[in-house]
Amino acid sequence: MGGIGKTTLTKKVYENELVNGHFDCCVWITVSQPYNVSKILMSMTKQIYQAKETTLRQINMANEITLISQLRKCLQQKRYVVVFDEVWKIEFWEIMKHALPCNDRGSNIIITTRSDLIGVSCKESLFDQVHKLQPLSQDKGWELFCRKAFQIEFQRCCPRELVIMSMDIVKKCEGLPLAIVAIGGLLSTKEKVSLEWQKLHDSLKDYSISGSRLLWLCVAEGFIKGKKGKTLDDVTKEYLMELVHRNLVQVSFGEHDYEIYRMYRIHNLLHKIILSKAAELNFYQVLEAGDTTSLGKSRCLSIRDVRENVSRQFKLLKVLDFEDAPIDYLPQEVSNLFHLKHLSLKRTKVKILPKSVGRLQNLHTLNVVGTAVHELPIEIFRLYKLRLILAHSHDFEIKNTFYSMRGAKVHEGVGCLNDLQALSFIVANHSGVGLFEELGKLS
């Protein structure tokens, strides 16, 4: 992933005097994204020719095909090394390889990328190697952290009273050099006392999110646009797997309610960068206990304490996720959120779903999994846009997995919910044969 040292390591090799002296010409191109093929080809040509003014004018006027042809002709008789740093698209190499002849003179091409797929796709012979950089070991990470956090004081050694906390901070960096350098550099400016260290330590909280929850939230927020022949769920999964392949999102496996499922998380450093950018763009805001700051125009809000009437201030709210929150009832004001698409009370202490929930005309997802809600009000049949009803729970006193599952009671009429895609679970013997006839109407 970003910050593991791909560019740093490559630059160390590229700038080495022995390496420079071994090749006839050296080219370094930072690709990143988006990229312009013509500009990259021009930059390569200028670096190779070390062009004079007359040549520069000719290069700037040439088209892509001409530039590729010129590069091939020039490099055919040279031992060259070319670095393409930060490649994001497979298509990039498919174009660039035509400008770089295989001339049996010991030339080298180095590509750095975050994408496993690009690494594999660029291999064209058994001689091509993919070197996957590994995180630093705990010992190397600790050594780097001490060099950065204690640059001047304590002879680059950690004071005894800060050792345990510092080692835990290094562990949370997960061997990522950029994270260790950034956090070590930040702490180098702080007073070397436990209180300052504790503040930063507490801000590095690990959290994983299930794939299903992530998918529902993305769809409900409207982040994902549909593609022809594919559902929104399928498109969301495609995007998520692309982020995994690019090493921006990490996969782990979690277990809950006897199920093993995929969990997703991002590195602490990346999380901090995202939060900083989100706050800058008024996209996301966190309200701490006793916070009196203006709520502003943030699209997403995280509330760290239970607040009275907070929903009154967010008439346009689309997502309300109370998962694991310490609440035992659904605030009455929630029924006024006409634009709400996603309502989750998962693993809260809520016992009753109020009739007023029937006013949420745009609701797509209703999640009361793991609550004491054992009956869904008949008013939910007004919610014609519902796609998911998740209402099961477990009785953990019963050891048998099948019999420990509890569903919710629903009334006759569920067949009117034509958009429903998932119903998990309902009590089958509650409304007699009529319930099965209603279920038969759901396509």
pLDDT of residue 240: 87
Token couple for 114: 């975050």
**CATH architecture for segment(s) 306-439:** Alpha-Beta Horseshoe (3.80)
pLDDT higher than threshold 90 for residue 322: no
The CATH label, of 3.40.50.720, 3.40.50.300, 3.30.540.10, 1.10.287.3510, for the domain at 6-121 is 3.40.50.300
* C-alpha separations of 236 from 72, 204, 212, 240, 340 in Å: 42, 27, 10, 6, 20
Gap between the Cα atoms of 347 and 342, Å rounded: 16
Contacts of 402 (CB under 8 A, 6+ apart): none
Amino acid at 386: L
What pLDDT was estimated at residue 53? 46
The first and second tokens of residue 119, run together, are 């690494």
Residue range 17-52, pLDDT digits in tens: 998 899 999 999 999 778 889 889 988 988 887 754
pLDDT at 112 over 50: yes
Domain boundaries, the chain: 6-121, 138-203, 209-265, 306-439
CB 102 within 8 A of CB 133: no
pLDDT of residue 179: 85
Q: Which residues contact 166 (CB under 8 A, 6 or more apart)?
A: 145, 149, 158, 197
Sign for the pseudo-dihedral over CA of 291, 293, 294, 295: negative
From the DSSP assignment, how many helices (H) and strands (E) are in the chain? Answer: 16, 15
pLDDT band at 54 (very low <50, low <70, confident <90, very high): very low
Edge to edge, the sheet with strand 209-210 lists 209-210, 259-265, 250-256
Tell me the per-residue pLDDT of 401-432, one tens digit each, with 9 for 90 and over.
566 778 898 888 888 999 998 898 888 876 66
Half-sphere exposure of 89 (CA within 13 A, CB side): 12
Q: Pairing state of beta strands 80-85 and 25-30?
A: parallel
SS3 (DSSP) at 209: strand
Omega cis (within 30) before 34: yes
Direct distance between the N- and C-terminal alpha carbons of the chain, in angstroms, rounded to an integer: 43
- Residue 39 in tokens: 């500009």
More confident residue, 219 or 108: 108
Task: Return the CATH number of 138-203, one of 2.60.120, 1.10.8, 1.10.287, 1.10.15.
Answer: 1.10.8
Class of residue 379 by CB neighbours under 10 A (exposed 0-12, middle 13-18, buried 19+): middle
DSSP label of 330: -
CB 350 within 8 A of CB 327: yes
**How confident is the model over 141-168, as pLDDT tens digits?**
999 999 988 887 777 788 888 899 899 9
Give the Cβ contact number of residue 439 at 10 Å: 15
